[in-house]
Amino acid sequence: MHAAVYRGSSLVSVEEIPTPEIGSGEILVQVEACGICHTDLKKIQYNLLEPPRVFGHETAGVVAKVGRNVRQFQLGDRVAVFHHVPCLDCFYCRRRLYAQCPVYKRVGVTAGFEAAGGGFSQYVRVMDWIVERGVEKIPDGVPFERAAFVEPVNTCLKAVVQCAPTPEDLVLVVGQGPIGLMFTMLVRRSGATVVTTDTISARLELSRRLGAAYAWDPRHTDVAAEIRGLTEGRGADLVILAASVPGIVDQAIRYSRPGARILLFAQTSETERIEMSGAGICVGERTVFGCYSASVDLQKESADLVFNGALPVEDLISHRLPLVKIRSGIDLALHPSANSLKIIVQPQEWS
């Protein structure tokens, strides 16, 4: 089969490698769509993991082989695959901090080499603990490219549940890339007023269409003043950071009221460092917290939101690329153009 193999030094190349063999409790999935996610991009760009690996974890496809002990799936089933699931029994799982569970931290989907998601390939091996509780069947009529959003929607839904916005809240979402736009849709469903920022005009336009009451370019608008004007001078009740640039937490402090909550969502690299006003947190009694990866508790709900069209995630897709062009997709995701958003890799296509 063909796969996009990370070889270190930020190099990814499409190569021919063996199709994975599966065990008795495992399935082999033919990958039909896999989204390019910034967590994988950071691993490639900053060489955070040892090569060789095949990345890609927003995976949807068709069951191509079934291990002899697998009962819940059969050949031809259309499935969306999570690459992490927790044990449900450890210290962290009992506190529903699933992403800190040692079993969760073990990647259970691979195209070969060290398990790393594997979705940037034609086939992936799904290991037994993922087969048991990390695979969702895709209903007939749902396109694979839409189904590939189940995992990223879950990560955003987990964060929104943790933030618990109310209809009385004004929520600022900083960054309107694919993740930021998913936050805009999900927070709007809570009844809260959503305002957003980005520097790409097409993203601001789409943000308004997907539920933002206001969407501003911070280079041309005094965002803090606009938010104060909407909140009787207070500031935002909640700020969600769906982007990562120097000074972004200090921005969030300026945009928010005393007692506000500030969610760090895009700060996923160990190399990132954050400076902020200590008084802005302490004296202003703000809460800064993080949320990472998916929740098994929300797996069915996130799948339903995607499958039933409640979230128009296909509006976020700007590019569909065959596997052979993945390098251009990675470069575009790292350096967005005026009209680029979510990039979907289709490993079975070759032109």
- Work out the percent of the chain whose per-residue pLDDT is above 90: 96
Q: What is the CA radius of gyration of the chain?
A: 20
pLDDT the model gives residue 129: 97
* CA separation for the pair 107, 40 (Å, rounded): 13
Q: What angle do CA 327, 179, 92 make, to 5 degrees?
A: 105
Residue 343, pLDDT above cutoff 80: yes
Classify 40 as helix, strand or coil: helix
pLDDT the model gives residue 270: 83
Q: Please, which pLDDT band fits residue 271 given cuts at 50, 70 and 90?
A: confident
154-290: CATH topology is Rossmann fold (3.40.50)
**Cβ distance 184 to 212 under 8 Å?**
yes
Residue-wise pLDDT for 21-33, tens only, equals 999 999 999 999 9
**Contacts of 345 by beta carbon, 8 Å cutoff, 6+ apart:** 4, 33, 34, 35, 36, 56, 119, 120, 321, 322, 323, 326, 329
Other CB atoms within 10 Å distance of the CB of residue 203: 25
The one-letter code for the residue type at 210 is L
Classify 112 as helix, strand or coil: coil
Domain ranges of the chain: 2-149+311-346, 154-290
**Contacts of 238 by beta carbon, 8 Å cutoff, 6+ apart:** 163, 165, 169, 170, 171, 172, 192, 256, 260, 261, 262, 263
How much is the average pLDDT of 48-60? 96
CATH class of the 2-149+311-346 domain in this structure? alpha beta
**Cβ distance 276 to 246 under 8 Å?**
no
Q: What is the mean pLDDT of the chain?
A: 97
